[in-house]
Structure 1
């Protein structure tokens, strides 16, 4: 269920990635996205469906995703079509879109969650007033991908961050747009993050006939 940072045992806990294979995580395919959604809907997990959907659309790092507040997502009584947050890693703002299906799942969750606009959208269950921890978010992602038959070692929170960005890149080849959407300061970081290589460049080039 996650641990409060006030819990003294947390000081002696090993790093989250001890003994785990750490590296580039695969993005999800469209089919896998809908498989996770079907699983979460079947189980009636409103919070998890909203969290999953928001992770895909926002393309945020886990540390930024879990800190989103209700005020970041709503305008009046409606869910925003676009939102903006300041990234913890860079200190720079990044914008993202909220598509219709995602707005619907967020509206359903926030209606059940209630709370003030200043509250976190995804509250902690162990720290009153706190937000869902990145550790718990990672555990949830492990659970989601396992539920649809994927290997945990190959997928993680960055899979959700990379998913839509990878789809946009494959559709457009526009690295600058992806850089902006991911909030990267350098385009070289975007190239590495997407795993762009010579084969990708050749495929894009082959689409253009002169």
Structure 2
């Protein structure tokens, strides 16, 4: 048989996700949130505590969270109770609340010398980088979850985005509220994002008697 008719032999490359857990990252549980907060407070890490708290409250994608400006959360000498930002993915505005504990941690961070003169809320370490990158943010999240004994491959930046809405959905079952809070344009996206499956539907149905 001519060599030209032989099937090509290609080197076997390992799958890009070999040894990794893929799929949706899990949201943090309330006990995880409080454990991380305590560790950051004890370590006196003002920036990380403010970033962690605002990530939970805002429910923003990492790319929007790292680009927040001081003016987005601070005006007239105080941290806003609610604010709105334009999402880079959808180009649609999304509003979110800033709870009392988060406002306190933000005030402490705003008084930090490292933030003086910065337009961005999370300034970068180098002059050419105005704010931290999404990769830096991902490393911080990895450090936070690892510090309380969680498996880092199971969690990521989207864990921060999903944490509060997962609790809201669990307590209320209100998908429309979750859709608005996440800034999703389609309900299907919210359903997939929360991982609402048949078991959830059956549980809701079982709770209703006719």
Identify whether the pair has TM-score above 0.5, normalized to the shorter chain: yes
Quick check: 1:90 aligned with 2:70?
no
- Number of residues of Structure 1 aligned to a counterpart in Structure 2: 193
Q: CA deviation at 1:114?
A: 4.0
User: Secondary structure at the residue paired with 2:111?
Assistant: helix
Structure 1 stretches lacking a partner, 5+ long: 1-16
Residue of structure 1 in register with 2:81 after alignment: 81
C-alpha distance after superposition, 1:42-77 (max 9, x if no partner): 111000000000000000000000000000001211
Correspondence for 1:7: none
**Cα distance in structure 1, aligned partners of 2:127 and 2:115:** 17
2 CA distance for matches of 1:129 and 1:32? 31
Secondary structure of the 1:68 match is coil
CA shift for structure 1 position 203? 1.7
The answer on whether the counterparts of 1:86 and 1:93 sit within 8 Å (CA) in structure 2 is yes
Once superposed, which parts of structure 1, at least 4 consecutive aligned residues long, lie more than 2 Å away? 17-22, 113-116, 126-129, 204-210
For residues 9-28 of structure 1, give each alpha carbon's deviation from its aligned partner in whole angstroms, at most 9, with x where no partner exists. Answer: xxxxxxxx876443200000
Structure number with greater Rg is: 2
Which residue is 1:145 aligned to? 145
**Quick one: distance in 1 between partners of 2:208 and 2:40?**
41
CA–CA separation in structure 2 for the residues paired with 1:69 and 1:133: 14
How far 1:205 moved relative to its partner?
2.7
Q: Distance in 1 between matches of 2:172 and 2:148?
A: 29
Cα offsets for 1:144-166 (capped at 9, x unmatched): 00000000110000000000010
The equivalent of 1:204 in structure 2 is: 204
Displacement after TM superposition at 1:88 (Å)? 0.6
Aligned mates of 2:31, 2:146 — CA distance in 1: 15
The unaligned stretches of length 5 or more in structure 2 are 1-15
Please name the residue that 1:61 is paired with. 61
8 Å CA contact 1:119–1:129 kept in 2: the answer is no
Q: What TM-score comes out, normalization by structure 2 length? A: 0.87
CA distance, structure 1, for counterparts of residue 108 and residue 204 of structure 2: 40
1:64–1:39: structure 2 CA closer, same or farther, 3 Å change rule?
same
Superposed CA RMSD in Å reads: 1.6
Q: In 1, distance between residues paired with 2:161 and 2:142?
A: 14
User: Which residue of structure 2 lines up, in the alignment, with residue 13 of structure 1?
Assistant: none
Tell me how far apart the structure 1 counterparts of residues 128 and 162 of structure 2 sit (CA, whole Å): 31
State the Cα distance separating 1:110 from its structure 2 match: 0.9
In the TM superposition, what are the counterparts of 1:105-184 in structure 2 within 5 Å? 105-112=105-112, 113-116=114-117, 119-128=119-128, 130-184=130-184
